[in-house]
Structure 1
């Protein structure tokens, strides 16, 4: 399905850096995709800061980006806090995490917290959402050592 979406057209969305002077600047990379049958979908990646105040600032910027999108949004990444954190509560204003809270992603070797997620705007129909513990041809042991976080995956209808 993804190949059919991309073939129809894709338009980059302007990059936003929360604090370009920070030791580790954080931003939002996004692309607007044309979807079969008409309409658009914005797909975005995000990596929130380690410091709470920076995460909150970045989350507010992400919420404004979603509000201005004018189409459904899928935003995934390392959020660096669990669903009860202040930045996640801000993101909850416009996005939802369709995975169960028990789909832990961190640390990858013994996941105990869900700090990574693929978030979606209301109205997108999600078939499944989960932490990625294995994949065809990739054993679970390899997934646990590829990064300090497990990946997350959603299957949705657009």
Structure 2
């Protein structure tokens, strides 16, 4: 019985290794230091800076006086959240909102060479609304915004990792 379990687990491990499965690794960036132009109050900018530094290979500079020490500059052109009414009932009460997060940025060197031209990432989610559950809907809205923010940060990190030379 133990031998059968061992053989089955070994076969499962072998099949995973044969399919090319590998855990996601920290990306390699072409730069060692980056100046982040995100506002101090931006939760998206804070999460982005934290994720950049988490790999241990990149130092994020936030102080504009130290910008000369950076290899590249991340210019945040737009960081915006929107909430739009998309559905109402017969009596004119709101039934559905659309939440949208826009983030526009560019990556350049100190000399002005564009490594990533101005790019915009827009994510949107629909959320139903019910006046009898306002507090629960506010919490759901906050969770949706946080999910969109994390998704945008991951997309930006992949784009930064795609830059191969400065």
Structure 1 and Structure 2 fold alike (TM over 0.5): no
Higher helix share: 2
If the length of structure 2 is used for normalisation, what is the TM-score? 0.24
Larger radius of gyration: 2
Higher relative contact order (CA 8 A, sep 6+): 2
